[in-house]
A and B are shown apart, each in its own frame.
Chain A
């Protein structure tokens, strides 16, 4: 269920398919599984090994394999603020994406159902941002929010913003950017559950004197809960690991640094690989806790 949103609503065949045992299954599975083990599982093991490395006593800037678990303590002590900020920013962005995305998904999936052409056009508009560079879109917001840009101009002429003060580089601009960039990930799964919602259920609730609010709370919302759950995960995960929006050249400043920025800086700039690896694994562990709560609810068969 979770990620099927990208492929559109599945039309299940009338009868369940009888699964056979056959050596063909191995032939089909092995190359891909081998690939995933080689380029997903072993890199995670590499991260674990790297995260425990200690500085080489002989060569400056080199690291040797060790069991230096103190790396984890050090990075948490140094970067706890950035870690908390990432969780906070991602949670805010997810909340705003839900507030904007749910009505939009409802509109496309239910309001537009009598107009199939408009419905498919609306879907294209939702995924349209995917087709233009993520970085350029984010830079466009930076320009719109810049001191010379239209938003600052309007706000300062209203007296709401002192002239010369930038909106970029603030918590607002980073959360705004994250919300904008990940809204489609919220809309698509919710849309996928709402588009197959039986409208007769809404009519029934209405016939039984349910107010629109009651109908929404007791019928629509529970029936779209699966979509809301996957949308929340799909928005939160990339937002928590993102470092574009929060970076100085885009919508952030040194006050908005997130865990992704710290991982990137430690790995690619400072070349402190153990610190970067430890931070990556902390982020991964945090995400896995969220995902396992999701799996517990819906089971592994419904994951895909």
Chain B
């Protein structure tokens, strides 16, 4: 691409980035709004919302529930998903195609169907809905994403290193914990972060299975009818900055590692 085309794609992409970032900027800006009851019109800058986050009724409790659900679902999904990912890459077994399909389908199912299906099942089994059922539901939809993420890491792993460990009389457990696991760790961490992000921001599946318990997204959904308190923007912004910082650190350290490897 030369001349005009080159400038055109720069201009077009910068516009696309601005488009992607507008609502983020808006949400962050309104966390500093000096709002009274509703947070729709700009009333002037204040830091007060950030210092009195928990004063809006229920917002911190909802945030706490979301954290709990996110951590529990992430631990469960990452464990089960990593095991499947290793098996998929390393072992031969029957029903391979069926297994692949079973892992793929939850990602291809609309959330509203997953949510309604689980809710129908809990209803028929007489299981009361609440944080527990939400954790079970989140683990389900995070699981497939974990498999996909970790699997690509297992594929890129050099089996010769594990062979070397075995040649040097390491037991299978030693080989796993001292060679395989540390080398898979970046993939597992990425999968865990993805799970947590998916779980933390999920609304649709949660809404079908939460019963009377409130998560951060369901708090916002309910509050949307009467006006979102600025405190919700504060929490969302804080989470955003934390996540961006984590991702930037990961990107930069990966970049440094690549450069170091290239210079060897």
A interface residues (Cβ-Cβ under 8 A, vs B): 2-4, 6-8, 10-13, 17, 19-22, 24-26, 28-29, 31-33, 35-37, 39-44, 46-47, 49-50, 100, 103-104, 106-108, 111, 116-117, 120-141, 143-144, 146, 148, 180, 183-184, 212, 233, 237-238, 240-244, 249-250, 259-260, 263-264, 267-268, 273, 276-277, 280-281, 283-284, 287-288, 291, 300-301, 303-304
Contacts and interface: CB of A to CB of B under 8 A. Distances in A.
The SS class assigned to the A binding surface is helix
Given A129-B23, A241-B112, A300-B97, A17 B90 contact: yes
The SS class assigned to the B binding surface is helix
Given A20-B92, A184-B20, 11 more contacts: A32-B143, A35-B80, A36-B106, A107-B12, A122-B17, A125-B20, A131-B240, A136-B236, A238-B110, A280-B112, A300-B100
25 contacts: A3-B104, A10-B156, A11-B156, A12-B156, A17-B155, A19-B90, A20-B91, A40-B140, A43-B114, A46-B121, A47-B113, A117-B255, A125-B17, A133-B236, A137-B23, A138-B23, A241-B112, A250-B224, A259-B112, A267-B208, A273-B120, A277-B116, A280-B116, A300-B100, A300-B104
A145 to B, nearest CB: 11
A259 B110 CA distance: 11
Interface of B: 1-2, 5-6, 9-10, 12-13, 16-17, 19-24, 26-28, 30, 40-41, 80-81, 83-84, 86-93, 97, 99-114, 116-121, 123-124, 136-137, 139-140, 143-145, 147-149, 151-153, 155-159, 187, 190-191, 194, 197, 201, 203-204, 207-208, 216-217, 220-221, 224-225, 228, 232-233, 236-237, 239-240, 243-244, 247-248, 251, 255
Given A21-B92, A40-B140, A244-B203, A6 B112 contact: no
Contact of A127 (B207, B233, B247): B247
Contact of B224 (A20, A249, A267): A249
A140 B22 contact: yes
A11 B152 CA distance: 8
A136 B28 CA distance: 10
A263 B190 contact: no
B121 A134 contact: no
B248 A124 contact: yes
B62 to A, nearest CB: 11
Contacts of A36: 102-103, 106, 140, 143
